[in-house]
């Protein structure tokens, strides 16, 4: 707030009631001109907005002149994506026990369909059609349902689990229709799915802590990024991911462009 007081003082204002929206906007511009990050400027402006809101509510000023001044939006963070070799290492973990088969099937399903973790654990056996052209029905956000293809690797892993793993688990429960079961025969929870991925990531030597930690959504990000890297149309990827707007999907194109820049910078003789 001391910085804002200096801004007002420089404008010849010693009474908050004399400040206008132009002074609030000017303060924000000054913060950004000084190189303050968008997130830091947003925090500083939150304090300024709170001051004016309080002053207006207490009758110290005639109006809240900061109400219409919006803090800067932080830059959109690019989704984390594994490269193909990392995904391969991750999906190679597990064993042939019922729980090992379940873990491998779950990870192959997440990466092979781009499903959200809630969609994977919420899927039932009847949502799968592994004959002919394999596909899965996913029940997404807002009650939206979509059909996505299931790749050969995911199909093989899920079939192995359904034949050699799931029967042993379902015998411990009361016959839930869920594809992915816990050790007691009930529907696998999101938290348990996280644990499965966490252990697989550790076994594969991938990060499990910090900002680069592998999460179920990492496989969804990797699915979209690898599709776009392979030449898939962004609107097709939008449908596969179940995004209501293509603008949501377009964030992945930033990842692929960034990778193209890396390739260009290392491969082109006049790139540097």
Nearest-angstrom CA–CA distance, 105 and 112: 10
CB 41 within 8 A of CB 71: yes
Nearest-angstrom CA–CA distance, 26 and 202: 50
In the residue annotation, 166 being an active-site residue is answered as no
Catalytic residue among 57, 70, 141, 235: 141
In the residue annotation, 116 being an active-site residue is answered as yes
In the residue annotation, 252 being an active-site residue is answered as yes
Catalytic residue among 49, 116, 221, 226: 116
Catalytic residue among 70, 144, 217, 235: 217
Lookup: tokens for 241: 């991911």
In the residue annotation, 141 being an active-site residue is answered as yes
Catalytic residue among 49, 104, 220, 226: 220
In the residue annotation, 52 being an active-site residue is answered as no
Query: The sheet that has 128-129: what strands, in order across it?
Result: 128-129, 135-139, 145-149
The label of the residue with tokens 């491998």 reads 104
Instruction: List the catalytic residues.
Output: 116, 141, 217, 220, 243, 252
């Amino acid at each position: 707030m001391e910085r804002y007081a200096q801004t007002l003082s420089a404008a010849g204002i010693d009474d908050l009631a004399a400040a206008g929206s132009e002074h609030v906007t000017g303060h924000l511009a000054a913060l950004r001109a000084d190189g303050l990050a968008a997130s830091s400027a947003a925090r500083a402006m939150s304090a300024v907005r709170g001051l004016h809101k309080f002053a207006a509510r207490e009758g110290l000023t005639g109006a809240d002149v900061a109400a219409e001044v919006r803090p800067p939006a932080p830059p959109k963070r690019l989704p984390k994506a594994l490269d193909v070799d990392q995904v391969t290492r991750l999906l190679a973990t597990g064993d042939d026990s019922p729980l090992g088969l379940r873990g491998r099937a779950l990870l192959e399903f997440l990466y092979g369909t781009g499903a959200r973790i809630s969609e994977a654990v919420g899927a039932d056996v009847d949502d799968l059609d592994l004959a002919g052209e394999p596909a899965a029905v996913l029940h997404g956000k807002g009650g939206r349902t979509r059909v996505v293809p299931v790749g050969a690797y995911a199909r093989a892993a899920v079939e192995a689990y359904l034949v050699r793993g799931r029967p042993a688990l379902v015998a411990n429960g009361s016959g839930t229709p869920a594809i992915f079961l816990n050790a007691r025969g009930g529907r696998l929870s999101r938290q348990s799915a996280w644990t499965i991925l966490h252990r697989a990531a550790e076994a594969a030597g991938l990060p499990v802590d910090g900002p680069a930690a592998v999460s179920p959504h990492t496989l969804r990000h990797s699915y979209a990024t690898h599709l776009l890297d392979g030449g898939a149309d962004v609107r097709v990827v939008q449908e596969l991911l179940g995004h209501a707007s293509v603008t949501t999907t377009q964030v992945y194109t930033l990842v692929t462009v960034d990778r193209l820049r890396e390739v260009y910078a290392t491969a082109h003789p006049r790139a540097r």
